């Protein structure tokens, strides 16, 4: 049986990298006594796949992993058991049963929404609302992407599905941080997060700052992933983005 787990990762946990989060969940699943399926072979491992890795330093309210289990009492029990063994900064938000036919979490990812907040309050950019709108209205947003081997021009525009100033969201935190990111407006962005067209929110932020002729101090912004989306065809035959958890049921 396939299970999809949604979790939040914030506060101190933002300094724990993707591989270590995987290791954390492998142990948590054993602590919680979940009857997970193991692969065959001489060194069997838990059948587990994560949707989209989150960079160190980022927080998230919408992370996903899929596992396969042999048996389960109820999704509610599993959620409770997992939450009992989490640490501060990582919460299991939902546990859903997936149809057997569904694609794994990673292959399902189509888009992700983020907020970008300025840690010390308001962004030091005048008239940011208008500037952001103008920036997003451009025909193309070309940035130079540096890889190990080459540099390459890339147009971000087709991959940015939404970009605006927004009200802050209440992100929980286990650390007591200075500044009040809770009150000041944040940048909201919805971007392509598929394996072929993934756009990092920091790339958009950098391009926007360059457009405004503003240089922000490194690490002065907090990027938070709000949700990870998959693309479905709804009853009306329309393509639409829905959170990954909606592929499953209770």
Partner 1 sequence: MKRKLALSDEILMQVEKPARYIGNEVNSVMKNKEDVDIRFCMCFPDIYEIGMSHLGIQILYSMFNSWDDVWCERVYSPWVDLDKIMRDKGIALFALESQEPVKNMDFLGITIQYEMCYTNILQILDLSQIPLYAKDRSENDTIVIGGGPCSYNPEPIADFFDLFYIGEGETQYRLLLDTYNENKRNGGTRREFLEKAAQIPGIYVPLFYEEEYKPDGTVKGRKKLYDKAPDTVLKEIVMDVSDTHYPLKPIVPFIQVTQDRLVLEIQRGCIRGCRFCQAGQLYRPVRERDVDVLKKYAVEMLNNTGYDEVSLSSLSSSDYSKLNELLEFLIGYCNSRYINISLPSLRIDAFSLDVMGKVQDVKKSSLTFAPEAGSQRLRDVINKGLTEEVILDGAALAFKGGWTRVKLYFMLGLPTETEEDILGIGDLSNKIAAVFFDTVPKEKRVNGKVQIVTSTSFFIPKPFTPFQWARMCTKEEFIEKAYQTKKGIMSQLNQKSIKYNWHEADVSVLEGILARGDRKLAKVILTAYKRGCLFDSWSECFHNDVWLSCFEDCGIDMDFYTTRERNEDEIFPWDFIDCGVTKEFLLKEWKKAMNGETSPNCKSQCQGCGANRFGGGVCFER
Q: Under the criterion CB under 8 A, does residue 24 sit at the interface with partner 1? A: yes
Interhelix angle for 128-137 vs 201-212, to 10°?
110
The terminus-to-terminus CA distance of the chain in angstroms comes to 13
Q: Under the criterion CB under 8 A, does residue 216 sit at the interface with partner 1? A: no
- Report the distance separating Cα 205 and Cα 212, nearest Å: 10
Stretch that binds partner 1, among 30-38, 141-149, 157-165, 232-240 (CB under 8 A): 30-38
- Would you give the DSSP letter of residue 112? E
Stretch that binds partner 1, among 28-36, 62-70, 104-112, 204-212 (CB under 8 A): 28-36
Tokens of residue 216, six digits: 């922000």
Query: What angle is formed at CA 200 by the lines to CA 98 and CA 225, rounded to 5 degrees?
Result: 50
Stretch that binds partner 1, among 2-10, 11-19, 61-69, 199-207 (CB under 8 A): 11-19
- Angular region, 60: left φ>0, alpha ψ -120 to 50, beta rest: beta
Q: Cβ 88 to partner 1, closest distance in Å? A: 6
Q: Under the criterion CB under 8 A, does residue 85 sit at the interface with partner 1? A: yes
Give buried/exposed letters for 17-42 (b at 16+ CB in 10 A, else e): eeeebeebbeebbeebebebeeeeee
Indicate which single residue of 71, 144, 219, 250 sits in contact with partner 1 (rule: CB under 8 A): 219
Q: Under the criterion CB under 8 A, does residue 17 sit at the interface with partner 1? A: yes
Query: What angle is formed at CA 64 by the lines to CA 84 and CA 58, rounded to 5 degrees?
Result: 90
How many residues in the shown chain lie near partner 1 by CB under 8 A? 36
Q: Under the criterion CB under 8 A, does residue 80 sit at the interface with partner 1? A: no
Indicate which single residue of 1, 133, 142, 175 sits in contact with partner 1 (rule: CB under 8 A): 175
The interface with partner 1 within residues 31-60 (CB under 8 A) comprises: 31, 33, 38, 42-44, 46, 56-57
Tokens of residue 84, six digits: 């009992």
Q: Cβ 5 to partner 1, closest distance in Å? A: 15
Tokens of residue 124, six digits: 């030091």
Per CB under 8 A, residues contacting partner 1 are 12-13, 15-17, 20, 23-24, 26-31, 33, 38, 42-44, 46, 56-57, 85, 87-89, 119, 173-177, 217-219, 222
């Amino acid at each position: 049986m396939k299970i999809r787990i949604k979790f939040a990762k914030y506060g101190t946990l933002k300094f724990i990298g993707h591989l270590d989060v995987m290791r954390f969940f492998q142990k948590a699943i054993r602590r919680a006594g979940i009857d997970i399926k193991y692969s065959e072979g001489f060194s069997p491992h838990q059948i587990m796949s994560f949707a989209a890795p989150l960079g160190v330093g980022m927080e998230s309210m919408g992370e996903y992993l899929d596992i396969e289990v042999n048996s389960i009492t109820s999704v509610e029990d599993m959620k409770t058991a997992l939450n009992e063994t989490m640490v501060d900064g990582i919460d299991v938000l939902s546990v859903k049963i997936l149809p057997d036919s569904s694609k794994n979490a990673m292959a399902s990812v189509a888009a992700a929404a983020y907020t970008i907040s300025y840690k010390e309050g308001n962004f030091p950019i005048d008239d940011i609302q208008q500037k952001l709108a103008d920036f997003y209205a451009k025909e193309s947003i070309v940035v130079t992407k540096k890889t190990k081997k080459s540099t390459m021009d890339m147009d971000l525009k087709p991959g940015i599905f939404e970009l605006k100033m927004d009200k802050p969201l209440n992100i929980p935190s286990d650390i007591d941080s200075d500044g009040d990111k809770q009150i000041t407006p944040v940048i909201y962005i919805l971007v392509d997060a598929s394996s072929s067209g993934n756009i990092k929110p920091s790339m958009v932020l950098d391009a926007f700052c360059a457009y405004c002729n503003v240089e922000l101090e490194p690490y002065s912004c907090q990027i938070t992933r709000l949700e990870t989306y998959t693309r479905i065809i709804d009853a009306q035959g329309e393509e639409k983005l829905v959170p990954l958890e909606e592929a499953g049921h209770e």
